[in-house]
Amino acid sequence: MKLYELGTGEPVQVLVKVENASAEYDSTVAFGKGGILLIEPIRYDGKIINFSGDKVHISVIYMEDGIKPLIWEGCRMQTVQAGKEKYHAIVCKRDGMRWNRRQAYRQYLGLDGMLSIDSTRANYSVIVKDISATGVSFVGVPDMNYLSMGPFHLTFEDKASRLKVQLSGMAVRQEPVDETKVIVGCTVKQANLDLGTYVASKQKQEIARRHGN
């Protein structure tokens, strides 16, 4: 199936990657014409985002009920005006392919956090490395053995988003960085906010910051 064959009013998601940042944006098909798909313009803070550029990688995802999503990769997208209306115009030479969606994207944070081990009530200052809808990783000291750590609570403040994030989880892996640091990967059990929404917001902030509106 060609991208421009999607019907008017169909919902689509646009996956944008700029270097190591990625974000998904929801939109709706306006119409297809001459091998081009026009969608309702994607905005951030009320401004239409400029997605042109050599470092911008665009994919379009179409969800059908009960069926694996279709994805078109290697797309090009730019803002166009048709009559009085503005759209994002997308061109893709490839056919759509069935796609196994990853469960969660990891968003880099690099924020100071406080880790509290439930069993011992020991507290550690850590660097929250990245976070996803289902997991988190942090940089700590080598004596924080993940096998004996057990359940924990982690708190950090994201000043840019004006949020204090509190979550509980369980460590599942550990990787040495050097003699003084390790990276601990964890699954998240509970959080005081919707982590999927938080990650999506951070990704959109990063895309807008790197590529401009």
The answer to whether residue 209 is domain-embedded is: no
Same structural domain, 80 and 118: no
Q: What is the pLDDT of residue 201?
A: 87
Same structural domain, 120 and 72: no
How is residue 170 written in tokens? 């369980």
The answer to whether residue 212 is domain-embedded is: no
Query: Which of 110, 113, 107 lies closest to 165 in space, CA to CA?
Result: 113
Residue 40 DSSP class: P
Q: Do residues 204 and 152 touch, judged by C-beta distance below 8 A?
A: no
- 72-78 contacts: CB < 8 A, separation 24 or more? 72/3, 72/96, 72/97, 73/97, 75/3, 76/52, 77/14, 77/51, 77/52, 78/50, 78/51, 78/52
Express each pLDDT in 102-131 by its tens digit. Answer: 445 778 899 999 999 999 999 999 999 999
If you average pLDDT over residues 54-80, what whole number do you get? 86
Same structural domain, 22 and 64: yes
Q: Tell me which of 68, 98, 128 is where a domain ends.
A: 98
pTM: 0.57
The answer to whether residue 123 is domain-embedded is: yes
Same structural domain, 78 and 24: yes
The tally of domains found in the chain comes to 2
Backbone angles phi, psi at 208, to 5 degrees: -65, -40
For residue 203, is pLDDT > 70?
yes
Q: Which residue has the higher pLDDT, 206 or 134?
A: 134
Q: Tell me which of 98, 130, 156 is where a domain ends.
A: 98
Express each pLDDT in 2-53 by its tens digit. Answer: 999 999 999 998 988 887 677 778 899 999 988 999 999 999 888 999 998 8
Q: Tell me which of 63, 98, 133 is where a domain ends.
A: 98
Same structural domain, 53 and 123: no
The answer to whether residue 208 is domain-embedded is: no
Same structural domain, 7 and 94: yes
If you average pLDDT over residues 148-162, what whole number do you get? 93
Same structural domain, 9 and 94: yes
- For residue 120, the domain's CATH number is 2.40.10.220
Same structural domain, 77 and 113: no
Distance CA 151, CA 43 (A): 40
- For residue 78, the domain's CATH number is 2.30.110.70
Q: What is the pLDDT of residue 213?
A: 52
Same structural domain, 124 and 176: yes
The answer to whether residue 206 is domain-embedded is: no
- Band (pLDDT 50/70/90 cuts) for residue 146 is confident
In whole angstroms, how large is the CA radius of gyration of the chain?
21
Range of the domain at 160: 107-200
